[in-house]
Structures are given as C-alpha cells and as structure tokens.
Structure 1
Amino acid sequence: MSILSRVPFLYALCIFMSSPVIANIDNEFDDLDALLNMPLESLADTKVVTATKTSLSLSDVPASVHVITSKEIERSSARSIADVLILAPGLHVAKFSDYDWTVSARSKNQGENNTLLVMIDGRSAVNPMYSGVNWDTLPVSLDSIDRIEVVLGPVGTMWGGNAVNGVINIITKDAESAPKAQLSASTGNFDYKEFKAHHSGQISENTHLSGYIESLQHSPFTDTDEHFKELRHLKVLTERFGMRADYQNLQNTVSVQFGGIQSREDYQWLTYTPAFLDPTTHKNDYDVFLTEMNSQELFAGFQYLHEKLDGDQWENQVWITHSESDSTNEPASFTRVDLDTRYTFNTQDWGILTLGANARIIDEEYAQFSEKEQYFSPYVRTIDDHKFLNQSYGLYANWAVNITDSTEITLGNRIQYANITEEWYSQPQVRALQKLADNQRLWLGWGRSVITPSRLELDTQFQENSYCSSCAYTVNPDGSLNYYDYMMSYHYLGNRDLEMESVDTYEIGYRYWQDNQFQVSLSLFYSQHDNVRAYRGLGGNRYFTPDSSEHSNGTIIDDMFAQLVDPLSQETIGGELSLQWQPINVLQVNANYSYKTIKGDCTGSICGSSELPILDLENTPKHYATLHVMWDIHPTVWVSSVVNYVSTSEPDEALITAYQSYGNDYTVWPEVITLDMSVNWQHKPTWPSIKLSAENLGGDQLKEYPEQFGPFANGTQYYAEVSWNFI
C-alpha cells in the first residue's frame, strides 16, 4: 500500500478538528500594508538555534550564520529547497537536471557530497548509504518553512558527523503559525503542475494542529535537445504530506510531527542480454523499455522542551524514519531511530553550559543481485553483507562563558563512537566573541569535524557495464576477420582500510548592523581536509568463453577494477560577504558574495605517475554572487528578482589535455548567470493571490556542470500560481 494512501483522510480529520475554532476568525484588512511592508529584522533581533542548539541572537553567535526567512522564500521564484539555497552566501548550488541538484559549502561540488549536514527541525535528512542528500525528495513543504538557518564551517561539536563545512537546518512553522485554509494550484511549461492544500487551527486552549498535502508533476528534464524528442511524455510525480501538533503550557512545550514523501519517476531503461549468459535465446544486445523508479520516506517525531524559571532548559527529541529506493544506484531501505537529549545550565556566574547525548541506530537492508544479474544493468550497486545494524553514540558538551563584559569564550567537544568502523572520534571547537560596540561584533574560532563513515565507501561495489555482439575482431593471416562479442565491466570497490576524513577550520568574522535598515556580515576561513577520497586503478582480468551470439566466435569479457583510497588532502581558503539593506519599508535588497580556492596535495602510490587527482580536486569555480531585490510597489502588488552568478572554473592545462579528445571544455565548470523574476497580485486578503514567475531568463538551455558529468541543459521555465486563503 502506498504511504500516501491515507493522506486525504488524515488531512480531512485535521480540518474538521480545527474548523470550529478558526471559523470564528472574521478579521479583514482594509489593505495589504500589514502583509507586505515587513521591516528587515536586525541581527540583534534575529534568533537562531542551529549553531549552539540554544536560541541566541544572530549578532552574538561566534560562527558564520545566515538566515533565509519565509518572506525571502515567498518572494523568490524558487520551486524547491535547493533553489532557495542560492539566497545564502557560501553555498554552491548546481542543477544537474529538472530534479537533481548538488549543494556544497567551502569544498568542491560533487554528486555524492557528504561534507554538508542537512536537517529538518533538527532531524537529519542525510541518506545513510553515502551520507549525502537527495534534494528532490526532502519531505518538507516550502509553504511550511519558517526559516532556513545556514551555518558555514564546522558544527560537529553540536551535531556530529557530516557537520563539516556547514549545516543547513530547515525549520518549519509551528502549528499555530502554519497556513490556514490555503489552497493553491500552479502550472507551467515542461508539463509542470502542482497542487497544495494547507490548514491549521486551534483544537484546545494549549494545542494547535496543522497539516498539508502536495502533489507535483513535471518533466524529468527541460533540455530541448533532439535526443529527448521521443521522451517528452516522461513524467516525475512527487507527493508530500505532513501533520504537526504543538502543545504549550507554562514551561512545557511538546511537538509531534508525522509526514512523508513518495517519488515516482518515468525512466527509459535498458537491460543487457549478453549472449554468453544464455546463447540459446539471445536475440538483441539489449532491451529498451520504460519503467518507473520509486523512492519514499515516512517519518515521525516527538520533541519535548522544559524551560525552567531560572533559565535552564531540558530538551529531548525522538525521530523514526523509514526510507527506501528501488534505483539500481541506491537499491536499499533504511529504518532509522535518532535520539537526542540535552540539558542547558544558564547562569550569570558560570555562563551557559550545554551537556548532551545522542544515539542513532539504522537498520540497513540492501537489495541482492545474482552474479548474472550484475551484468544485466548499465550500472548496479552491490554489497556482500546486505543487512547491517549501523549504530552511532555520542556525548557532547559546549560551554560559553563571559571573560569580561565584552568578551565571551566558547569551548566544546563531542566524543562519538561508530560501530561501522569500531572507532571513537573527537570533534572539538574553541571560539571567541568580542563586542566592539552595541551594533558591532568580531568573532573567531577553530573547529574540527569528521565525515560519518558510510557503507557506500567501505563495503559496496558499483559496477558499470557495456556490451555489444560481434564488435571485437582479430585478423587472420589471409586478411579475413574473426568476430567476437565483447563485455566490459568496470568495478568501483569500497575499501575497509580508509582513514576517517577530518576537516580543521580556522575562521574570523565581523558583523555590523544599523537598526532595521542595514546589516553586513563578513567571514574569512582556512580549512585543512585530510584523507580525501580518490579511486586507484587496480588493473583487470580478461576472460574468454566460447558462448556467444550466432555470428561470433566467442565472447571476450574485460573486468576492470578501481578502489577507493585516501591519499589526497586539500587546503581551502575563502570568505563570504552578506549585505541586507532596506532603504524604505517597501524595498529590500539582499546581496552576497563568496570566494574559495582549493590547493590539493597527494601522497602514496596513486600520486607517483599523475597529478590528475590533485588537478581534478582543484578544478572548481572560485566566485559566487547573488542579488535579491524585493519591492512592494503597491499594497496589492509586489515584485521580486534574483540574479545568481557562478564563475567558470580554470582547470590546469594538464587536466584539459588529459581529456582533450572530448574537447577543451570537457572538464570546465561553465559560467552560470541566471535571472529569476516574480510578480504577485492580490486585491484584498479574502481574494486569491496570483503569482507569475520565470526562471532562468536569458539563460535558456544552460548547463551548470562540466560536460565531463553528462549534465542536462536547463531551459527557461514559466509558472502561474493561484493561491487562496479561505479564512
């Protein structure tokens, strides 16, 4: 049964439970000034929790932190979480296709990026297989987001593994603040259709309930290349739902959440039918067919916060998540339990001390393939021990104390154990904050974080296959040819001897703000990343079998092997600048700029004959910039524009030469300049609002990845959305 089959019933229950109360709300604004003219919140007034797990003013956090507000999300053209993240400095967001993104911070962007921890309300959204993120299947609605907190740099002391180069914490609205009786529908080119229903209300004096359902359909690509002409009918269908109940009474706050997502993707796939495996029935080299790839996730969570009158806090979280996928790249299911408890002592004499413990238990089950089946697909991931109980346990402490009236020092450490490697590892930090004036802060810090080991890099094998009949031959003395079938399989092997990846980062930052009109944040960093992974070729084996197709004299089978090793290290230097300016109440301008450069090094046998692993590591764009303008031109109309810029990479000539047969731009990250615009009209609050958006204006059929990775081109997209709040 589909995980979403009971959603309509659950959502209807939510409506009926809350309607008697919210039906009494009959207030109506004479105009929309209160909705549109929202002043810029100063750094001192902005509260964040991700850096320390306690609510602090953004101005007083000794780390590089940026907040994307719900207003900024609404006033963009973004249709996904990944698209929203271009609004934050320090993040490289690259779009591979119409539903595939990669996001990195302070490191090279790559498909299996595992140096960035992504959470939803403090619950890890990381895929346990490779410790990365599937951005298209995050189970959260854009309309339900209160804010997105982005912390750049190491936050491993508070959050554990993968909080290496940054943490993205997507914080949803509580049930009281969630949209009420809101329906919306969107349509656009490339078969885009989206329907959303949100509702919330009060069900008792201290309890609020909210819920939503969403359905999204679109083409898997916006690339208009002729190669896709026969595949225009393919679709991607994504369905989300979520419910939340919040109870608050005196010092106690309880939150319960339940939700999920299901993704179904039409896909053109092929199955190889190599004759040597079954020569009697062989007809074609492969069968091409349309299939459906499925992935889904369900989650449930319980959060309890007790705030004592003396300022102490005790918080507990329990999350249960089940996810599964039938892709041959990720053929696995995971059932994960996350437990976290912390107690914060808040005293004037001794500062703020947080003590906590966490446990994560993941029941992993991978699909099994027979030896024959491993040659049937273009690619497949296999593992010998297909069942595993992955366990991780940690203890952490963080202490912030005032040395003087204007100087604060923070000391912290986390001790973590992972049974996947049977090792303990430490993630310490030291930070300082100096109050230069009421509206100026200077901070600096050092931290070390590690990347959570994954079964993908330790135990799995990724196999790529290609096959053709009668395509290899030998020449006889008389000049005649002997034809053979040919099978090539490349095996990418994990490695149990890999060392733990760790990153040490040194940072310094400055903040200045002027009331609710202007604010600036600047940070500089240097990081040392050790035990970076690369593949080392192991050679291969050639086999011959007389079994073959009808007109061949046998089959040649080449099995080639490469294994993950950890000979690389990298030094990264860079910085981030963020500006926010509101010259008048109806106009806000956000701008950010980031820079990074990577210097690689290599030791070991892989480095002796070639510098290509180092040169590939260093091949990344250096400059990133975004400009976001929001203008309420009339109480009934607002407009917004977002310009995003990513510079081209400048790979070493040796790297270009190595791939020169593919073209000189094969390894180059292309320059990306995109313009997104939106205009919204709403006559009065009881009327529907109409939003028209355009993405990628002036950059139609733009690729954001090097040709090396075979990316899709991204077309200009247009959307029209009608949204109506019935209450």
Structure 2
Amino acid sequence: MLIRPRASLLYAVCVFMSFPAIANIEQEFDELDALLNMPLDSLAETKVVTATKTSLSLSDVPASVHVITSKEIERSSARSIADVLILAPGLHVAKFSDYDWTVSARSKNQGENNTLLVMIDGRSAINPMYSGVNWDTLPVSLDNIDRIEVVLGSVGTLWGGNAVNGVINIITKDAEDAPKAQVSAAAGNYDYKEFKAHHSGQLNEYTHLSGYIESLQHSPFTDEDPHFEELRHLKVLTERFGMRADYQNQQNTVSMQFGGSSSREDYQWLQYTPAFLDPASHQNDYDAFFTEMNSQELFAGFQYLHEKLDGDQWENQVWLTHSESDGTNEPASFTRLDLDSRYTFNTQEWGILTLGINARIIDEEYATFSQEEQYFSPYVRTIEDHEFLNQSYGIYTNWSINVTDSTEVTLGNRIQYANITEEWYSQPQVRALQKLTDNQRLWMGWGRAVITPSRLELDTQFQENSYCSSCAYTINPDGSLNYYDYMMSYHYLGNRDLKLESIDTYELGYRYWQDNQFQLSVSLFYSQHDNVRAYKGLGGNRYFTPDSSEHSSGTIIDDMFAQLIDPLSQETLGGEISAQWKPTDVLQVNANYSYKTIKGGCTGSICGSNELPILDLENTPNHYATLHIMWDIHPTVWVSSVVNYTSASEPDDALIAAYKDYGDDYLVWPEIITLDMSVNWQHKPTWPSIKVSAENLGNDQLKEYPEQFGSFANGTQYYAEISWNFI
C-alpha cells in the first residue's frame, strides 16, 4: 500500500486573558496595538496585478478577484498554502492525507487538475510531469507571503496555458518587508515538528536582502484506523530555503531570487515477483518493504521593471526551474526556462495598452523501464520518447479603453504556439467595467482559454498491475480443478488524436465598499467546456505460459487497455459572494459562499450505450462556504477561528446503481464541516510570541473524498508555535 496522496481552546483563551503579567504592561500597549490592529484596506486601496499584469485597484478590475492578505494567512491556523486557500471563494480544497491536497476552481476536483494555474511571483508552479501541483513541496514560506491573489474565470489572454478556470498567484514579500531576525519552532501531535529562520537587511541605500530556511517533519497521515498501526513510524520530511535581493533606484527596480525545496516521504511499497519469470526460486507473490520517495526543486529568477515618468512600464522576467522525482507515477526530471517581456503604454487619451511576448522551454527526461520492470510495481508511468524539448511561444495584447468617464472596455487576445502538437491557439477576451458611484462597480466579461497540451495525456502510458499465484482455476470433466497463477495489467494509454480542450466563460459581477469597514463582491458565471477527456475500453489480450509457481499448471496473463478520448463536454453554472466587515478596530469578519453545478454532455458513437461518464462528471459538491473571524481581544492576545463547509454531492441514481456492490456512499463526496482555531499571546514586542492552534475540531477522523478514491481520514491536530524576533 502506498502512503500518499485537526478539547476546546476556550480554556486556553481564559488562561491567556487572566495572565497576571498583563496588568503591568500598559506602557507598551501602543506599539503592540499598532502591530495587531492593521486596518482593512478598502477595495479602492487594494492593489492587484494578476488580473491585468499591471498594478490596479481591486475596485476597478473587471474580473472576479479575491485577495488573501498576510494577516489573514497568519490568523488562519493553516500550516500549508493549500489550507490557506479555503479563505477564497470559488475554490474547492480537499485534503487527501496529511500532505496531499487537490484544489479546483469552478470545476470538478481531481488530482491532475490542469484548468487552474498556480504561480509564485508569476512563475508557474504546475508540475508538467503530471499536470498538477505538489502543494506540500511548493518552494515558498508562509511567513514570506505578502498576499495571495485568486482570479476566477478565464485569464488565458494574459497568462496562457492552464489559466482556464482561474489563477492563484502567490506573491512574496519584498526583501525590505521580509521578516527580520525571526526564529520560530512548532510541535504538535502526529509527530509534527517545524523549524523556521528568517532574516532580512539593507545592503546599501538601494539594495535589500532577505533569506529563510525551513524544516518540517510530520506523519504522512492522521488516520487512526488500526490497519495502519504498523505504519505509525513513517515520516515526511520537507525542507525549503529561499533568498531574495531587491534593488530600487528612481525608475528602475531589479529583483533576483533563488530557492528550492526537497521532500523525503517514507512509505510502504511492494514489488511483485511473478513465478513465471523465475519458477525455481519463487517463494512469495510479492516482496513488501519500506522505502522512501524523493523529490526536489530548485529555481532562480530575475525581474526587471522600468517605470517611465509618463506612466509607461517595461517589465521583464526570467525564471529557471529544475525539478525531479523518483516516484513510479512521475519518474522524471525537467528543466524549465520561462521568459516574459511586456510593455505597458499608460495614456489618458487611449487608456492602458499592454503588449507582451513569452516563451517556455522545458527539457523533459522520463525514466526508462524494461518490459519486465513494468510488471513489477503496482503502478508505473512509461513513455516511448524519454527525452523531449517541450516548447511554447506566445504573443499577447490587452487594451483597456476609457469609453466615457464611467465606462471602461477591455479587449485582449493571446496567440500561442506549442510544438507538442505543432499548432497555434487563440485566447481572446472582452470585458467592461461600469462605475455606478464612487463606491460601486458593475462589471461583465467573456473569455476563451485553452488547456495547454501535455505529453501526459498525449504520449504516456499508466499501467496498474496485480498478481497472485494459484488463484485462477478451470474445472475438468471429472470435477477436479486445475490451478493457475494470474496476472492482470490495466494499460491507460494517451492519445495523439485528442482535440484541444477549450473553455468559454461568461461573467457578471458587482462590488460595493464602505470606506475601510465593509466590502462586498458578487459574481455569476457560466462556462462551456469542450473536448473533456474520458477513457474508452479497448478490450485486451490474454497470454498463457507454462511457467508458474509450484502448485500451478501455468500462468494466465491478461493485458487490458483503455485510451483517452474527448467526447464529453460540460456546462458549469454558479457564482460567488464574498464579504469583509470590520465593525470595530479589534474585530474583523470575512465570509464567502460559492455555488456551482455541472451539466455534462456527450457526442459520438460512445455516448449512446453508456451515460456513466457524464453522470460521473456531474457528481460534485454544489455548496461551499467559509467564515473567518479575527479578534484582538487584548493588545497582547488575539484569537481567530475558521469554519469551512462543503456540501455532500448527490450522485445520480443510475451512477449509484452501477456501483451498488461497493455501497451507497462509494461515490458520494461527503459533507465537510471543519473548525480551526488559534490563540496568540505576546507580552511585548521584544518578547517571543506563543501561538496555540487546533485544526479540524469536532470532526476527528473525517474523510474529504468519496470512498472510491481511498483517501485517508483526517484527525484533529493540535500544535504550539513559539516565534521570536531578535531585532
């Protein structure tokens, strides 16, 4: 089995509130109070860059955008970026194990989610080896994040491939604003231990430097099932580091970054030992053993921004990333070069015009396996062309025109070329913004985005194996039995004839804000997703060999095949509501609610006989909600809580009937209600701060996926963290 993929805090609050030393520190309230009571920025004051690639007030962005601030991250109890994302509307965050998540936007949640682009400072974090994100190994520190910008809907015009249903851009702090001389340590149940060290300083009048190191160790799962008792000793070790230098002099800004992460995951694995390969020495069907999976990533980046006095900007980015993994599901390494250059003309007469070009070059190298090795592991991914230079080039434009003093129209398009398919793709958009009043905006838009073709779906084969000796038999005329060894292999094949996946999204939104006390955002959307993938069974081949284990008459080998095809389509309809309210200087309430429903469709000969792929596509939760409360109950103490809700899915009766042998809940996404809480105490700014947190209160041993995925139950987790700034 492969190991892959939080008692009430009221007593603690009372203890901190009644701590006797508090009465003696009035002279230090002002300084600490200023640190704690950061104001809620109004929509007009909040600047975002992800939606337009230019710094623009959130109130004037004609798209569904949400910003998670560094304060909200600190007070969310979250220990990973994936857990932080429940604070944003429109995202479905599901936890598979203690270090595996899947995150989706406006679509069905799945591991290989290639419709959501995730970036760090504009650098793609998508793993091209499997078209998803390794959330646990992202090379970024939570303490170093300035904000997370979440843009829902199509952003393909500006960002290209995979910016289909949304973009998550994790923006780190400038070197000047990074933590200074900060050391922290944390410990909790399930073997959780974490150490972090951050420092920043000024090199000269124009240059600042920052850096950090982190080490995290924990159990790979928090499932208390007795079957996992012998696996309690397994550990996951993740290490990160990063360095940044920022130079700013008049109109020129230069930023250089270097960092990386490594992960070592203990797990139990097995290797089949089919008797037909070596009958004389065969003893067991498989060898079970403990081993580890290793992965690492290194990156380096250079960013240059020149801001002219007339408002024009010229920005260039260069990113170099190297990643590798030895897991059997993604046994590959890649080196990626990302180049982006854009010039923005900022004129009052013609509006804002951005022209840009980009290139992405990936040197891919997949591991090789012999014919026999492909049958030894429970699963393995293979490819014929082990080395490939993946190239993508694009040119894009985005033009915001002031039609009147209160009306703005945005036109844009991207033309992209990919050498995988040797085709060009277009990703246009049209948006409009209407200023109703000084504090109200109405916006609407349409955009088309395409999913960048990947070798994963075009060229690779994913093979699942199973083997047992003397488990198949035939009945002789006299009633006696002949026993045989049996091996079954499922081959999931890519397909070079797949059509390009495209999504058209129509949106309508409204924003309202009242100074720094209240803000409301509402968005509605409809999207049409064409050429959705599904697997079609191709039958199989049966082989027989007389070589077998001692008491068998031979070995039967079944090779079954299925191939990706693209007959499906889906219509998705929904919306998001997000509100932030600060009734007093010491209390802030954030709330969001999202709804989506999927209607599947099918074309072609395969559709008439089997509607199960359509019904499976529609099987997704419809309702999502989050409530986040941050309360500075005293200048030395703050408390926060996060309540997250996801509704259960309601599979069609025909889909349930098809899997009735597995139980009624086999395909149901379960209802999720989680409560996270944190209490933080700091006697005065020169003292350490102490935070006590709990995750998943009241819902111990909760699974967040349907039974069909074999996910782990998530236990209630507690941890305490001490952090100290020496300067």
So what's the TM-score if we normalise by structure 1? 0.96
Shift of 1:29: 7.2
What amino acid sits opposite 1:528 in the alignment?
Q
Number of the residue aligned with 1:9:
none
CA distance in 2, matches of 1:163, 1:543: 45
- Kindly indicate whether the alpha-carbon contact (under 8 Å) linking 1:317 and 1:340 is maintained by their aligned counterparts in 2: yes
Number of the residue aligned with 1:79:
79
CA distance in 2, matches of 1:513, 1:120: 29
Divergent runs of 4+, >6 A = none
Pairwise CA RMSD: 0.9
Report SS of the residue matched to 2:719.
Answer: strand
Shift of 1:200: 0.2
Number of the residue aligned with 1:444:
444
1:151 and 2:156 matched: no
Report SS of the residue matched to 2:574.
Answer: strand
1:37 and 2:41 matched: no
Number of the residue aligned with 2:6:
none
Shift of 1:700: 0.3
Report SS of the residue matched to 1:385.
Answer: coil
Number of the residue aligned with 2:598:
598
CA distance in 2, matches of 1:590, 1:43: 14
What amino acid sits opposite 1:445 in the alignment?
G
List gaps (5 residues or longer) in structure 1.
Answer: 1-26
Number of the residue aligned with 1:367:
367
- Kindly indicate whether the alpha-carbon contact (under 8 Å) linking 1:87 and 1:628 is maintained by their aligned counterparts in 2: yes
What amino acid sits opposite 2:381 in the alignment?
R
CA distance in 2, matches of 1:356, 1:132: 26
Shift of 1:604: 1.7
Shift of 1:257: 0.1
- Kindly indicate whether the alpha-carbon contact (under 8 Å) linking 2:130 and 2:330 is maintained by their aligned counterparts in 1: no
Q: 1:574 to 1:143 in 2, by over 3 A?
A: same
What amino acid sits opposite 2:198 in the alignment?
H
1:315 and 2:315 matched: yes
What amino acid sits opposite 1:213 in the alignment?
I
- Kindly indicate whether the alpha-carbon contact (under 8 Å) linking 1:31 and 1:635 is maintained by their aligned counterparts in 2: no
Shift of 1:280: 2.1
CA distance in 2, matches of 1:378, 1:605: 33
- Kindly indicate whether the alpha-carbon contact (under 8 Å) linking 1:131 and 1:452 is maintained by their aligned counterparts in 2: no
Shift of 1:606: 2.4
- Kindly indicate whether the alpha-carbon contact (under 8 Å) linking 1:579 and 1:592 is maintained by their aligned counterparts in 2: yes
Shift of 1:32: 1.0
Shift of 1:130: 3.0
Shift of 1:301: 0.1
CA distance in 1, matches of 2:502, 2:610: 25
Number of the residue aligned with 2:221:
221
1:603-642 Cα distance to aligned partner (Å, 9 max, x none)? 1232121110000000000000000000000000000000
- Kindly indicate whether the alpha-carbon contact (under 8 Å) linking 1:30 and 1:684 is maintained by their aligned counterparts in 2: no
Identity of aligned residues (%): 88
Report SS of the residue matched to 1:479.
Answer: coil
Shift of 1:28: 8.2
Number of the residue aligned with 1:718:
718
CA distance in 1, matches of 2:320, 2:272: 39
Report SS of the residue matched to 1:711.
Answer: coil
1:578 and 2:550 matched: no
Shift of 1:132: 1.7
Q: Which moved more, 1:674-683 or 1:129-138?
A: 129-138
Shift of 1:111: 1.1
Number of the residue aligned with 2:646:
646
CA distance in 1, matches of 2:487, 2:164: 41
1:174 and 2:179 matched: no
Number of the residue aligned with 1:326:
326
- Kindly indicate whether the alpha-carbon contact (under 8 Å) linking 1:364 and 1:388 is maintained by their aligned counterparts in 2: yes
CA distance in 2, matches of 1:437, 1:536: 54
What amino acid sits opposite 1:361 in the alignment?
I
What amino acid sits opposite 1:510 in the alignment?
Y
1:295 and 2:295 matched: yes
CA distance in 2, matches of 1:56, 1:83: 27
- Kindly indicate whether the alpha-carbon contact (under 8 Å) linking 1:29 and 1:685 is maintained by their aligned counterparts in 2: no
What amino acid sits opposite 1:142 in the alignment?
L
CA distance in 1, matches of 2:604, 2:387: 33
1:385-432 Cα distance to aligned partner (Å, 9 max, x none)? 000000000000000010000000000000000000100000000000
CA distance in 2, matches of 1:358, 1:135: 26
Number of the residue aligned with 2:398:
398
What amino acid sits opposite 1:173 in the alignment?
K
Number of the residue aligned with 1:348:
348
Report SS of the residue matched to 1:32.
Answer: helix
Number of the residue aligned with 2:101:
101
Number of the residue aligned with 1:427:
427
CA distance in 2, matches of 1:28, 1:368: 64
Report SS of the residue matched to 2:96.
Answer: strand
Number of the residue aligned with 2:9:
none
1:22-75 Cα distance to aligned partner (Å, 9 max, x none)? xxxxx9875411011111100000000000100000000000000000000001
CA distance in 2, matches of 1:532, 1:662: 27
1:477 and 2:463 matched: no
- Kindly indicate whether the alpha-carbon contact (under 8 Å) linking 2:182 and 2:724 is maintained by their aligned counterparts in 1: yes
Number of the residue aligned with 1:418:
418
CA distance in 2, matches of 1:596, 1:652: 16
CA distance in 2, matches of 1:375, 1:604: 34
Number of the residue aligned with 2:125:
125
- Kindly indicate whether the alpha-carbon contact (under 8 Å) linking 1:460 and 1:493 is maintained by their aligned counterparts in 2: yes
CA distance in 2, matches of 1:30, 1:44: 28
1:272 and 2:287 matched: no
CA distance in 1, matches of 2:130, 2:597: 25
CA distance in 2, matches of 1:503, 1:586: 43
1:549 and 2:549 matched: yes
Number of the residue aligned with 1:530:
530
Shift of 1:80: 0.2
1:71-95 Cα distance to aligned partner (Å, 9 max, x none)? 0000111000000000000000000
Number of the residue aligned with 2:89:
89
For residues 460-539 of structure 1, the aligned pairs below 5 Å read: 460-539=460-539
- Kindly indicate whether the alpha-carbon contact (under 8 Å) linking 2:470 and 2:551 is maintained by their aligned counterparts in 1: yes
1:472-529 Cα distance to aligned partner (Å, 9 max, x none)? 0111122111110000000000000000000000000000000000000000000000
1:443-469 Cα distance to aligned partner (Å, 9 max, x none)? 000000000111110000000000000
Report SS of the residue matched to 1:276.
Answer: helix
What amino acid sits opposite 1:288 in the alignment?
A
CA distance in 2, matches of 1:318, 1:488: 47
CA distance in 2, matches of 1:597, 1:390: 35
What amino acid sits opposite 2:439 in the alignment?
N
CA distance in 1, matches of 2:461, 2:312: 49
- Kindly indicate whether the alpha-carbon contact (under 8 Å) linking 1:28 and 1:686 is maintained by their aligned counterparts in 2: no
CA distance in 1, matches of 2:121, 2:111: 24
- Kindly indicate whether the alpha-carbon contact (under 8 Å) linking 2:137 and 2:261 is maintained by their aligned counterparts in 1: yes
Report SS of the residue matched to 1:456.
Answer: helix
Number of the residue aligned with 1:241:
241
Number of the residue aligned with 1:21:
none
Q: Which moved more, 1:603-612 or 1:540-549?
A: 603-612
Shift of 1:270: 0.2
- Kindly indicate whether the alpha-carbon contact (under 8 Å) linking 1:571 and 1:598 is maintained by their aligned counterparts in 2: yes
Number of the residue aligned with 1:628:
628
Number of the residue aligned with 1:24:
none
Shift of 1:559: 0.3
1:622-670 Cα distance to aligned partner (Å, 9 max, x none)? 0000000000000000000000000000000000011110000000000
Number of the residue aligned with 1:63:
63
Number of the residue aligned with 1:4:
none
- Kindly indicate whether the alpha-carbon contact (under 8 Å) linking 1:130 and 1:457 is maintained by their aligned counterparts in 2: no
Report SS of the residue matched to 1:59.
Answer: helix
- Kindly indicate whether the alpha-carbon contact (under 8 Å) linking 2:29 and 2:635 is maintained by their aligned counterparts in 1: no
So what's the TM-score if we normalise by structure 2? 0.96
- Kindly indicate whether the alpha-carbon contact (under 8 Å) linking 1:458 and 1:496 is maintained by their aligned counterparts in 2: yes
Shift of 1:281: 1.8
List gaps (5 residues or longer) in structure 2.
Answer: 1-26
CA distance in 2, matches of 1:632, 1:584: 10
Report SS of the residue matched to 2:104.
Answer: strand
Number of the residue aligned with 1:558:
558
Shift of 1:128: 1.1
Number of the residue aligned with 2:263:
263
Report SS of the residue matched to 1:349.
Answer: coil
CA distance in 1, matches of 2:361, 2:206: 33
CA distance in 2, matches of 1:223, 1:377: 25
Shift of 1:278: 1.7
Shift of 1:193: 0.2
